[in-house]
Amino acid sequence: MFLSGDKDFRPVALEADGRGNLFLTDWVQVDYPNHGRGRIWRIRSKEDFSITPKGYFDYLKVDSTTAMSLLAQRESPEVMALLKDRREGRTNTLIKYLSYASSRVKRAALVWAGENLDPKMRPLLDKSLTGSIDTPMFEAYLAAVENLSGTFATDYKAQKLPQANKLKRHLDPSVLIRIARSTDFSYQVRSLALRKLPIDQIEKERSWIESVTKSSDGELQLTAIRQLGHLTSTEILMELALDRKASAAARSEALLALSKQGNLDPKRLTLLLDDNEPDVAIEAARTLRWHLSDPAVRKALENSLASAEGERAEQLAFALSLADHDRPTSVDDWKSALASGGDP
């Protein structure tokens, strides 16, 4: 330990820069309300000490010609040509770059189109959805669509609000649904589209999302399970959690989603406390710890703990330890408990 303090020294996070400085956030007080007294400390060497990462250069310390020369060492000729066209304002070349095979070139073109704030360019963005598509490029596509849809571009140019991040962006859910449903896209891109769906659209697409919980792709399947956790989907999640033919990851995710369901019959999950899959058994213990008021659940946890080992035993013991505390049962009780402050 190179740094310590009294009980009011509450370090939260550490971060370092390339010049040897260490930055430390300090909550300052032992209590947890937002007291506004936090600090950011800088710890530095008494000697001049710096580390320059390979390939790093500071744009502020070089002229534009040198900067572009250095950038050319790391970027493809196609990206460099795009940047040149962008500097010279040749927006008529955008459609060419949006149609490139390289997802890196298309991402740079999408950033250019989105920051250009010309809604007439919106139809051109879909040109990028062919060929190679990775998740960073797809994120750039969605951001550009938001910028060029609705009234954001005109509101931004008119400075309708003093802060641009307060302006409303619009992303038509049909764009996300079309991509999430299409097998023309990778599972990673489809998963990202599904993850961004608003709750009301998740409800509308419930039947399809339920079918995706049986997908052969793990990432898409897990995303579908997480999204169903926002709805009242107890039975299908229960069936998945109990299905020993499903993957341990899918079953564990289903249990996590079930912990958010208000109409859960916890006794049906007690048999999972001794499941052959350790991750499933551990997640079952975590889910059931909120149902200790049910005598059958508590008895099942105690019986399982008697033969458990390792992390599973720890989770079971922790779950049972919660019974020793008077857990608030109403909103007013919770408010009263929270008002008492944090533990020292």
Q: What is the mean pLDDT of residues 118-130?
A: 93
DSSP E strands in the chain: the ranges are 11-16, 22-26, 39-43
pLDDT digits (tens, 9 = 90+) for 162-208: 777 788 888 999 999 999 999 999 999 999 999 999 999 999 999 99
* Angle value at C-alpha 184, between 181 and 187, nearest 5 degrees: 65
If we measure between CA atoms, which residue out of 254, 258, 256, 288 comes closest to residue 271? 288
Report the C-alpha gap between 173 and 129 in whole angstroms.
17
More confident residue, 266 or 62: 266
Q: What is the mean pLDDT of residues 291-307?
A: 88
Query: Phi, psi (5° rounding) for residue 43?
Result: -110, 125
Would you say the pTM of this structure is higher than 0.75?
no
pLDDT at 322: 66
* Pairing verdict, β 39-43 and 11-16: unpaired
* Pairing verdict, β 22-26 and 11-16: antiparallel
Share of the chain above pLDDT 70, in %: 86
pLDDT at 327: 63
Kindly report the length of the chain: 344
Report the C-alpha gap between 212 and 220 in whole angstroms.
7
Query: Phi, psi (5° rounding) for residue 148?
Result: -100, 5
Report the C-alpha gap between 18 and 53 in whole angstroms.
7
> What's the burial of 344, exposed, middle or buried (CB within 10 Å: 0-12/13-18/19+)?
exposed
Q: How far apart are the first and last CA of the chain?
A: 21
What H or E segment, with its residue span, contains residue 87?
helix 77-87
Query: And the tokens for 88?
Result: 């010279």
277 SS3 class: coil
Report the C-alpha gap between 250 and 161 in whole angstroms.
44
Q: What is the mean pLDDT of residues 8-15?
A: 77
pLDDT digits (tens, 9 = 90+) for 20-73: 788 888 877 666 555 566 788 888 877 765 666 666 656 566 677 777 787 788
If we measure between CA atoms, which residue out of 179, 181, 176, 123 comes closest to residue 149? 123
Query: Phi, psi (5° rounding) for residue 138?
Result: -65, -40
Report the C-alpha gap between 175 and 197 in whole angstroms.
10
CA dist 57 to 53, 64, 75, 283, Å? 9, 12, 14, 47
Report the C-alpha gap between 221 and 215 in whole angstroms.
5
Tokens 């997802």 belong to residue:
103
pLDDT category at 323 given cuts 50, 70, 90 is: low
If we measure between CA atoms, which residue out of 41, 37, 73, 31 comes closest to residue 55? 73
Report the C-alpha gap between 30 and 37 in whole angstroms.
11
pLDDT category at 136 given cuts 50, 70, 90 is: very high
For residue 269, pLDDT over 50 is answered with yes
Contact 320/292 with Cβ under 8 angstroms?
yes
Tokens 């994120």 belong to residue:
139
**Can you spell out the DSSP letters for 198-216?**
-HHHHHHTHHHHHHHTT-S
pLDDT category at 12 given cuts 50, 70, 90 is: confident
More confident residue, 6 or 173: 173
Sheet strand arrangement including 22-26: 11-16, 22-26, 39-43
